[in-house]
């Protein structure tokens, strides 16, 4: 009944959801025959389904390089995230990880679930890495080395100031942007973008994740993970974990809104970066996560549920974003729509109201000045036909039959 209720409320989600389901089925079938490459693409699908869908659209050579780049950094991140690994063990691994990728025999048991499988069978990733072209390997090694060193630094150092926050996000995400730009250039598809623009692309995504994942990180055992900068949260509570308690709800919302406002400072750079891309597949690969990020921030802003559970965009809206994001007109339209949603949630009693509205106005003005807002479907105002409930129910039944038929064919 939950799925039916969601579809009745948002019938515009039906077609994008069906397309996404079909695309996912197709992606599952496009697994390379070699065991090491098969492992890499199956693991990519398990640790990031949305990413695995977008990456499939890239040319094969570049797709393989980015698949390995993602898995290497995901493995590095798994080492950093595992709070059960002793610091004296963790830091040397982070510092030398860029050398381990050349060792077909190396593996390290840590993480949980699919991430543990990735670490236990990392030799498959190393084997695939060694088959990449020289320029791809050099770019992946360089970024892995720099990221590992940055992660190691913050094992000993807490995120105290906003500058610390930006530096940490640079090490774990801004460098990803730099690395991707190098891989795009190595493929001959794009020019190398400026470091500052690449960095902002990573920071915007990482800060969104840090905001969204507050509760998961603070409840991590045996030791919590704290990435929100003390310079911000100390204005509202004595300890970061205090934000999750109901008696601090007002202060928690104010702190959350300041964190979101901080993230919005990177949007202009992100839009500039995306506007420079020439290859349509690379554009979609880069643009979809950015649109998802501004949509997630619109969902998180002024939302106490960030401190109570999981806050994310509904699946149907995610499917719409993936389906619609094809050019800069779509990106400007999406950023305009989600910024409008966020703006509608701003309360004038919020301590950061002036700064929040100022940053939103800059984003909205940039989108308006693009002259493309009338060339896309809105995420705010429903466009297209109005479906009556009978039509929706019939369509849901047809979708269920289709998916059931596909499932039966696989067994």
Please tell me the total number of residues recorded for the chain in this structure: 411
CA dihedral angle for residue 182, residue 208, residue 48, residue 157, rounded to 10 degrees: 70
Q: Which segments of 30-102 does DSSP mark as H helices, in order?
A: 35-47, 49-55, 60-81, 87-100
Query: What are the tokens at 407?
Result: 């499932």
Distance CA 135, CA 219 (A): 41
- Which of the residues are catalytic? 168, 212, 225, 285
Distance CA 177, CA 125 (A): 21
Residue that is written with structure tokens 């919005």 in the block: 264
Q: Which of 310, 312, 210 is nearest to 266 (CA)?
A: 210
Question: Do 337 and 372 contact (CB within 8 A), yes or no?
Answer: no
Question: Do 157 and 164 contact (CB within 8 A), yes or no?
Answer: yes
Question: Do 98 and 138 contact (CB within 8 A), yes or no?
Answer: no
Distance CA 196, CA 379 (A): 29
């Amino acid at each position: 009944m939950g799925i039916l209720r969601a579809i009745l409320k948002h019938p515009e989600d039906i077609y994008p959801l069906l397309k996404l389901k079909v695309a996912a089925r197709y992606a599952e079938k496009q697994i390379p025959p070699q065991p090491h490459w098969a492992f890499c693409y199956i693991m990519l699908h398990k640790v990031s389904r949305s990413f695995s869908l977008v990456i499939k659209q890239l040319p094969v050579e570049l797709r393989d390089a980015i698949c390995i780049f993602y898995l290497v950094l995901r493995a590095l991140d798994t080492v950093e995230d595992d709070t059960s690994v002793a610091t004296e063990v963790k830091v040397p691994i982070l510092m030398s990880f860029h050398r381990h990728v050349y060792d077909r025999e190396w593996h390290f048991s840590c993480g949980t679930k699919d991430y543990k499988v990735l670490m236990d069978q990392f030799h498959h990733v190393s084997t695939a890495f060694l088959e990449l072209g020289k320029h791809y390997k050099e770019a992946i090694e360089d970024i892995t080395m720099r990221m590992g060193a940055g992660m190691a630094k913050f094992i000993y150092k807490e995120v105290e100031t906003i500058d610390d926050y930006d530096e940490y996000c640079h090490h774990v995400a801004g460098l990803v942007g730099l690395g991707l730009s190098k891989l795009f250039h190595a493929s001959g598809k794009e020019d190398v973008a400026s470091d500052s623009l690449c960095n902002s692309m990573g920071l915007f995504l990482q800060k969104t994740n840090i905001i969204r994942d507050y509760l998961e990180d603070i409840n991590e055992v045996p030791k919590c993970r704290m990435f929100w900068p003390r310079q911000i949260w100390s204005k509202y509570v004595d300890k970061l974990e205090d934000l999750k308690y109901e008696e601090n709800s007002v202060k928690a919302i104010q702190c959350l809104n300041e964190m979101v406002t901080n993230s919005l400072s990177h949007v202009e750079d992100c839009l500039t970066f995306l506007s420079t891309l020439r290859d349509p597949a690379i554009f979609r690969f880069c643009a979809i996560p950015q649109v998802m990020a501004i949509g997630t921030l619109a969902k998180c802003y002024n939302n106490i549920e960030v401190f109570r559970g999981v806050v994310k965009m509904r699946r149907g809206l995610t499917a719409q974003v993936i389906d619609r994001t094809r050019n800069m007109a779509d990106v400007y339209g999406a950023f305009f729509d989600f910024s409008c949603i966020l703006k509608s949630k701003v309360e004038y009693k919020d301590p950061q109201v002036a700064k929040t509205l100022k940053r939103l106005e800059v984003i909205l003005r940039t989108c308006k000045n693009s002259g493309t807002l009338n060339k896309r479907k809105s995420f705010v105002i429903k466009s297209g036909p109005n479906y009556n409930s009978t039509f929706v129910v019939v369509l849901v039944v047809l979708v269920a039959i289709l998916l059931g038929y596909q499932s039966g064919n696989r067994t």
